[in-house]
Chains A and B, each alone.
Chain A
């Protein structure tokens, strides 16, 4: 079975450019999560969706970050304009959530390593 698929695996771009990260969750999963990992701050939850609807975006750093989930099999995380401090590994994860009090295991992709020069 295919796991969570993220693309690209690596992205190097210059400051000010728009960056779009993509994620395909596991088929049948109804929750999708975007995380960011850095040495300084560790693994942070940015936003998560349930049934394609954003539930909690309190972790999104600022307005330069936006995420969408147009359908159950695709999500994007966009940074515009990008800055050097956005350099990190961005992970997407999915799970089958049972509702408000769910704590189902999340399945992570291998991440996108983003470098902003």
Chain B
């Protein structure tokens, strides 16, 4: 399973756009890229998933370059409630391998 690398933590302010980049240099041809969000005292929550190019939903956008060796989760206009840990996962099976994630802190 492809290993992912993402920043340990990030800080932002309300209303700003936040971009969290994940590196996955040895991603396999049939691997998908999936992001989860975890609030304190809750289980992770699926945010978005993509294979290539760009995916957008009501919560976030996911940008994947042509070589697929990295991906960027974009959160538009964050609020205090977006403070959470964000996990980037790469794989093509039901077996998810969670890394350490990125702890995003949003300030007023």
Interface of B is mostly: loop
- Is B94 an interface position by the 8 A CB rule? yes
Cβ contact within 8 Å between A93 and B43? yes
**28 A-B interface contacts by CB (under 8 A):** A31-B94, A33-B94, A33-B96, A42-B98, A42-B100, A42-B101, A43-B44, A44-B98, A45-B96, A93-B43, A95-B94, A100-B93, A101-B30, A101-B93, A102-B93, A102-B94, A103-B34, A103-B49, A103-B91, A103-B93, A106-B44, A106-B94, A108-B42, A108-B43, A108-B44, A110-B41, A110-B42, A111-B41
Residue on B nearest A6 in the bound complex, by CB: B43
The smallest beta-carbon distance between A8 and chain B, in angstroms, is 14
Cβ contact within 8 Å between B95 and A45? yes
- Is A107 an interface position by the 8 A CB rule? yes
CB neighbours of B99 from chain A (8 A): 42
The smallest beta-carbon distance between B103 and chain A, in angstroms, is 12
Inter-chain CA distance A44–B43, complex, in Å, is: 12
CB neighbours of B87 from chain A (8 A): 43
Cβ contact within 8 Å between A110 and B94? no
Question: What are the 7 tightest A-B residue pairs by CB atom distance, in nearest-first order?
Answer: A108-B43, A105-B46, A43-B98, A103-B32, A91-B43, A108-B44, A101-B92
Residue on A nearest B100 in the bound complex, by CB: A42
Inter-chain CA distance A101–B87, complex, in Å, is: 21
CB neighbours of A95 from chain B (8 A): 94
Cβ contact within 8 Å between A107 and B93? no
- Is A97 an interface position by the 8 A CB rule? yes
Inter-chain CA distance A109–B42, complex, in Å, is: 7
Inter-chain CA distance A95–B44, complex, in Å, is: 13
Inter-chain CA distance A20–B100, complex, in Å, is: 28
Q: Which residues of B (42-77) have their CB < 8 Å from a CB of A?
A: 42-46, 49
